[in-house]
Amino acid sequence: MLTIKNLTHVYGNGTRALDDVSLTVPKGMFGLLGPNGAGKSTLMRSIATLQTPTSGTIQFGDIDVISAPDKLRRVLGYLPQDFGVYPRVSCYDMLNHMAVLKGIADGHERKATIESLLNQTNLWSVRKKALAGFSGGMRQRFGIAQALIGNPELIIVDEPTAGLDPEERNRFLNLLAEIGENVVIILSTHIVEDVSDLCPRMAVLAGGKIQLQGAPVELMQSLDGRVWRKLIARDALEDHKARYNVIATRLFTGKTVIHVLSDTAPGDGFEPVPGGLEDVYMASVNTARLAA
Ligand code: ADP
């Protein structure tokens, strides 16, 4: 279990990227959902011990992450948002190099580890290819392979599906789903489907604050009877936004479908719809925006 309490991070230029964040993350897949600029990467890097927060505590099992970052690193697998440079060395050689860095000194053990990871991530056939020539999906699968070296107990994946086509994304999410329920996996993303497809627990981060956390199913139930839909002409959108709490808009055959949050029936041509995770997310991001 990962427990974060009152975590605040203020960058040198005064940006308060995290503001009193408290979060409890049990074993299994946990979705951290938030728009760009919400503070997700700042939070991921703080947990991964790459930066020290201004204040607050992070506890993983019996490890105090801020005072003992070395202990955390021994059980951590981290897939950053961007690796930056993709060198000309082969996939196999790079994994071998990283396994040495992670402390797998025995050659036979290293070979067995790497071969098993190459199979698991479906990279066996391209193991001798240079990483520089990998597609986005292959890079992300390589990212997971390197994160899994040494059987980590805490795995952090930061925006892993950004830029992947639907097939690559599916493959990648299936791979994450297979990792198992005995580790803590935090998936940070701005894509609602990543969370709804995979995560039994989630939180929404916006404006540096946790807006809500819980099980997606329960969060959706909390909107029961409060979401209303209407099909309107595109030029009627501004007028509706002024009159109602519009939480989602989507084009449909040239018209606009809007979802509105309201405890009572708005009338005016609205019909009730069950709330989806997109509604949960947009409603909380809207509330955060209004409060800012
Ligand atoms: P996300 O990953 O959700 O997009 P980030 O954690 O990257 O959010 O950023 C949160 C806020 O902190 C943004 O306003 C961003 O501009 C700011 N920020 C991120 N990194 C730095 C930095 N190194 N220095 C100053 N501000 C930063």
Q: If pLDDT is split at 50, 70 and 90, which confidence band does 85 have?
A: low
| Residues in CB range of 238: below 8 A, 6 or more apart | none
Instruction: Quote the ligand 1 centre to 66 CA distance (angstroms).
Output: 20
How many whole angstroms separate alpha carbon 108 and alpha carbon 227? Answer: 58
The Cα-based distances of 160 to 37, 124, 175, 185, 269 in angstroms read 16, 21, 12, 13, 40
Pocket of ligand 1 (CB under 6 A): 11, 13, 15, 17, 34, 36-42
Residue 191 dihedral angles phi and psi, to the nearest 5°: -105, 115
Q: Give which of 208, 242, 206, 276 is closest to 56, Cα–Cα.
A: 208
CA of 134 to the centre of ligand 1 (A): 28
Question: Listing from the earlier edge strand, what are the strands of the sheet with 184-189?
Answer: 76-79, 154-158, 184-189, 28-33, 201-206, 209-214
User: In angstroms, rounded to a whole number, what is the distance separating the alpha carbons of residues 170 and 167?
Assistant: 5
pLDDT at 218 exceeding the cut of 90: yes
Atom 13, ligand 1: which residue's CA is nearest?
Answer: 37
Judged by average pLDDT, the poorest of 81-90, 115-124, 168-177, 180-189 is 81-90
Token pair recorded at residue 173: 């999410």
Predicted confidence (pLDDT) per residue in 15-73, tens digit: 999 999 999 999 999 999 999 999 999 999 999 999 999 999 999 999 999 999 999 99
Q: Determine the pLDDT at residue 175.
A: 87
d(CA 246, CA 114): 50
Distance 101 CA to ligand 1 centre (A): 29
- Which of 252, 257, 254 lies closest to 237 in space, CA to CA? 257
Tally Cβ neighbours within 10 Å of residue 48: 21
CA of 40 to the centre of ligand 1 (A): 8
Tokens for 253?
């055959």
pLDDT of 158 strictly over 80: yes
On whether the CB atoms of residues 20 and 53 are closer than 8 A, the answer is no
Ligand 1 atom closest to the CA of 45, numbered from 1: 6
Mean pLDDT for the stretch of residues 106-129: 95
Backbone angles phi, psi at 19, to 5 degrees: -130, 95
Give, in words, the CATH class of 1-75+153-222: alpha beta
The percent of residues above 90 in pLDDT, for the chain, comes to 77
**Mean pLDDT over all residues of the chain?**
93
Q: Stretch 97-121: mean pLDDT, rounded?
A: 94
Q: How many residues does the chain have?
A: 292
Q: How confident is the model at residue 163 (pLDDT cuts 50, 70, 90)?
A: confident
Q: How far apart are CA 190 and CA 169, in angstroms?
A: 14
- pTM > 0.95: yes or no: no
Residue nearest to atom 22 of ligand 1 (CA): 11
